[in-house]
Amino acid sequence: MAFLTIFTAPKPFTNPHISIIQRNALAAWTRLADVDVIAVGDEPGIPEAAQEFGIQNVPQVRRDELGIPLVSAVMEIGHTCSNGPLLCYANADMILMSDTVKAARAVSEQVQDFLLVGQRWNLDFTEPFDFSGDWESRLRLDVAQRGEFYSPWGIDYFIFPRHLYTEVPDFTIGRPAWDNWMVCHARTSFGMAIDASRDVVVVHQNHDYSHLPGNRPPYGSEVAKSNLAKAGGRKHVYNILDTNRELVRGRIRRPQVRFVRLLRRMERMLINNEGRGWGWEMSLKLQQMQRPLAIKPRR
């Protein structure tokens, strides 16, 4: 029984660049100690990649009317097809390293109910990554030299005990709002949303959006609007600045007081689900003020 089960719903492996970065992610995950990996779906290349890396493939998954997997169904597979104490849903373009497992273990020894998330580092990959030798040290150096610390709106991995998130709305995966709902649920349900950005380096491999209509991010699409409604509207759309704990050198503590967090708190107080009015306009200005502050790495 592995301590941590990482599960994911990859994109089809038909795009050569998507194939490279998803193989990089799977190759990294399968090198982590005390970790099992599950690939969900039967899109082209997923069963073959699962066989290549010796991981479990669950081909059948409930989908929306467009044939895209539902978050609730993927979560159900993560729960039922694993037997370890902790689960981690991660996007299939994310390279996770041993500090992810170390952080999960440290948090699980301190609290029973939690959601662990963190800001990512963006990095360009055009070739398969070389996993020989001390690959983690080489990757960390690469991140330090040319990586971009990304916005707290990018939430790409979620670690939680298996008894949590057993009931999740039927969000469409890979579209906005469901990841934000995960953080909101942690804050409002069991009160322990933890930001691991100081302790954990996770690497997002940059890619285009050729797999989506119009070759652009899905914000504003009908599916995105549907996800937002299922989340309960804008007031339930949280990001990593809305966590109420952070992990620092393996210990859970209350977040450090930072101006950007205060701005985000004020913004959240003014947000409305109608998207109009003076409060809404002020919330947009507060959001704009946060952007340069939110992408400064914290040590």
CATH of the domain at 216: 3.90.550.10
Last residue of a domain, one of 241, 256, 271: 256
Give the Å distances, CA to CA, from 67 to 214, 223, 272.
18, 12, 32
Same domain, 144 and 268: no
Same domain, 82 and 222: yes
Same domain, 78 and 166: yes
How long is the chain? 299
- Alpha helix stretches (DSSP H) within 3-160: 16-29, 46-53, 71-80, 98-108, 135-146
- How many domains is the chain partitioned into structurally? 2
Same domain, 234 and 268: no
Measured torsion, CA atoms of residues 82, 38, 229, 216, in degrees rounded to the nearest 10? 170
CB contact at 8 A, 158 and 219: no
Same domain, 273 and 217: no
Q: How many CA atoms lie within 13 A of 156 on its CB side?
A: 25
Same domain, 107 and 234: yes
Same domain, 230 and 267: no
Structure tokens at 283: 């919330």
Position 219 scores a pLDDT of 56
This model's pTM is above 0.85: yes
Angle between helices 178-185 and 222-231 (to 10 degrees): 10
Same domain, 57 and 136: yes
Same domain, 36 and 52: yes
Same domain, 245 and 97: yes
Pairing of strands 251-253, 245-248: antiparallel
Same domain, 67 and 140: yes
pLDDT per residue, tens digit, the chain (299 aa), is 899 999 999 999 999 999 999 999 999 999 999 999 999 999 999 999 999 999 999 999 999 999 999 999 999 999 999 999 999 999 999 999 999 999 999 999 999 999 999 999 999 999 999 999 999 999 999 999 999 999 999 999 999 999 999 999 999 999 999 999 999 999 999 999 999 999 999 999 998 766 555 555 555 689 999 999 999 999 999 999 999 999 999 999 999 999 999 999 999 999 988 888 999 999 999 999 999 999 999 77
Q: Which domain holds residue 281?
A: 257-299
Query: Helices (H) and strands (E) in the chain — how many of each?
Result: 9, 13
